[in-house]
């Protein structure tokens, strides 16, 4: 794997940063995961806009235009191409931290250079498009114990990691999270959709969840396919009684869920709306 670190290309194993880097000491940074299908980044513009919004939210100035971020991501793809044919399914991890100071001090240091790091990794191919052939996820359910700025794709992921690990320790694939009003926010590394009486529902964007790029693409694809979709508050009770539940992310695409916290969803298999959604997503090209 070829990595990009501070304007240099190197083998991933050779990439080194200072232990005084604020990404290491404070989780002071933002990141992106961009899926790449057959050499083409998916929804590249949307990923770059979320990155630049995140950088501005954390007041981290990097001397790069959106065009330069896009070409950096494409360069990471190119540097990691093995042979003539592009790999089928990979993703780019792109990380920007505030950089290394000479001492540990909470306030932003002046005049330090941000650390920009990127590499490519393989992701699983998307699931088969027929609902009979797809494996469903079993997931847990827990009150969201993270912070109140979940719209920022922050590298401070301890809250997410602890929720994810709690699921892993029970042999589950994810944890769906809800707030103090028992309203679903998202999952520890995915967004959440439910199908209720023929309408696809997903929680509205606010500070409680990440504006997922896959979420955005799925909403657009559903609209293009004339499948009803609503961004609205979704309670835990509605979720548990819904006909279908899906998780979406750049690495999972749309993953159907068969059980939430031991409750069977629908008939425990991928549903009709899931199959329509995954095909609708395939028919729209996101640049
Ligand atoms: N996770 N919510 C959270 C908390 C996430 O970390 C992610 C993505 C999503 C889905 O966003 P998108 O569709 O843009 O991937 C929602 C990435 C893949 C990760 O951390 O590896």
What domains sit in the chain, N to C, each tagged with a CATH number? 2-122 (3.30.470.10), 131-283 (3.20.10.10)
Per-residue tokens: 12: 């991933």
Output the DSSP codes for the chain.
Answer: -EEEETTEEEEGGG----TTBHHHHH--EEEEEEEEETTEETTHHHHHHHHHHHHHHTT---S--HHHHHHHHHHHHHHT--SSSPPSEEEEEEEEE--B-SS--SSPPSSPPPEEEEEEEE-PPPPPSSGGG-PPEEEEEEE--S-S-TTS-BS--HHHHHHHHHHHTTT-S-EEEE-TTSBEEEESSSEEEEEETTEEEEPPPSTTS---HHHHHHHHHHHHTT--EEE---BHHHHHH-SEEEEEETTTEEEEEEEETTEEPTTSS--HHHHHHHHHHHHS---
**pLDDT score for 200:** 98
Cα 164 to Cα 19: distance, rounded to the nearest angstrom: 26
Torsion of CA 190, 194, 195, 200, to 10 degrees: -70
CB-based contact 247:141 (threshold 8 Å): no
Residue 108 Cα to ligand 1 midpoint, Å, equals 27
The pLDDT value recorded for residue 118 is 98
Is the shortest distance between the CB of 249 and ligand 1 below 6 Å?
Answer: yes
The model's pTM is 0.97
252 CA closest ligand 1 atom index? 18
**Quick check: CB of 183 below 6 Å from ligand 1?**
no
Give the residue whose CA is nearest to atom 11 of ligand 1.
212
Low-confidence ranges of the chain (pLDDT < 50): none
Asked if residue 55 has its Cβ within 6 Å of ligand 1, the reply is no
Residue 108 is encoded by which pair of tokens? 């932003």
Q: State whether ipTM is beyond 0.95.
A: yes
End-to-end CA distance of the chain: 25
Angstrom distance (rounded) from CA 246 to CA 17: 38
In the prediction, which pLDDT does 285 show?
79
Six token digits for residue 207: 């500070």
Atom 2 of ligand 1, nearest CA residue: 190
Ligand 1 centre to CA of 55 (Å) is: 17
Tokens of 205: 């964007």
| pLDDT given at position 83 | 83
Q: Please write down the HEC assignment for all residues of 136-159.
A: CEEEEEEECCCCCCCCCCECCCHH
What is the model's pLDDT at position 211?
98
- The pLDDT assigned to 168 comes to 98
Pocket test for ligand 1, best of 33, 46, 119, 147 (most atoms within 8 A of CB): 33
d(CA 197, CA 185): 20
Distance 250 CA to ligand 1 centre (A): 7
Assign residue 266 a region: left if phi > 0, alpha if psi is -120 to 50, beta otherwise? left
Residues carrying an active site annotation: 153
Ligand 1 centroid vs 11 CA: distance in angstroms?
Answer: 26
Q: Whose CA is nearest to atom 6 of ligand 1?
A: 189
User: For a substitution probing ligand 1, which of 249, 251, 254 has the most ligand atoms within 8 Å of its CB?
Assistant: 249
Closest alpha carbon to 141 in 271, 40, 235, 219:
235
**Which residue minimizes the CA distance to atom 3 of ligand 1?**
189
Ligand 1 center–CA 151 separation, angstroms:
11
Q: How far, in Å, CA of 277 to CA of 258, rounded?
A: 17
- Determine the pLDDT at residue 262: 98
Q: Is the CB of 156 under 6 A from ligand 1?
A: no
């Amino acid at each position: 794997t070829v990595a990009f670190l501070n304007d240099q290309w190197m083998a991933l194993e050779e990439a080194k940063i200072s232990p005084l880097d604020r990404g290491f000491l404070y989780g002071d940074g933002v990141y992106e995961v961009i899926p790449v299908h057959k050499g083409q980044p998916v929804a590249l513009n949307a990923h770059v806009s979320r990155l630049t919004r995140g950088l501005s939210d954390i007041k981290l100035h990097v001397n790069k235009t959106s065009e330069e971020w896009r070409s950096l991501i494409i360069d990471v793809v190119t540097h990691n191409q093995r042979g003539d044919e592009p790999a089928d399914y990979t993703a780019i991890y792109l990380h920007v931290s505030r950089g290394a100071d000479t001492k540990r001090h909470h306030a932003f240091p002046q005049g330090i250079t941000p650390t920009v790091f990127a590499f490519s990794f393989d992701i699983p191919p998307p699931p088969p498009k027929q609902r009979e052939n797809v494996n469903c996820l079993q997931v847990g359910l827990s009150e969201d114990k993270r912070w109140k700025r979940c719209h920022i794709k922050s590298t401070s992921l301890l809250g997410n990691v602890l929720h994810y690990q709690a699921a892993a320790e029970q042999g589950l694939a994810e944890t769906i999270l809800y707030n103090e009003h028992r309203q679903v926010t998202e999952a520890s590394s995915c967004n959440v959709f439910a199908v209720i009486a023929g309408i696809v529902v997903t929680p509205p964007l606010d500070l409680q969840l990440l504006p997922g790029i896959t979420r955005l693409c799925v909403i657009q694809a559903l609209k293009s396919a004339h499948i009803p979709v609503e961004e609205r508050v979704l309670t835990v009770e509605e979720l548990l009684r819904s006909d279908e539940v899906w998780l979406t992310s750049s690495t999972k695409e749309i993953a159907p869920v068969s059980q939430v916290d031991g409750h069977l969803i629908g008939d425990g298999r991928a549903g009709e709306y899931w199959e329509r959604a995954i095909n609708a997503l395939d028919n729209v090209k996101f640049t």
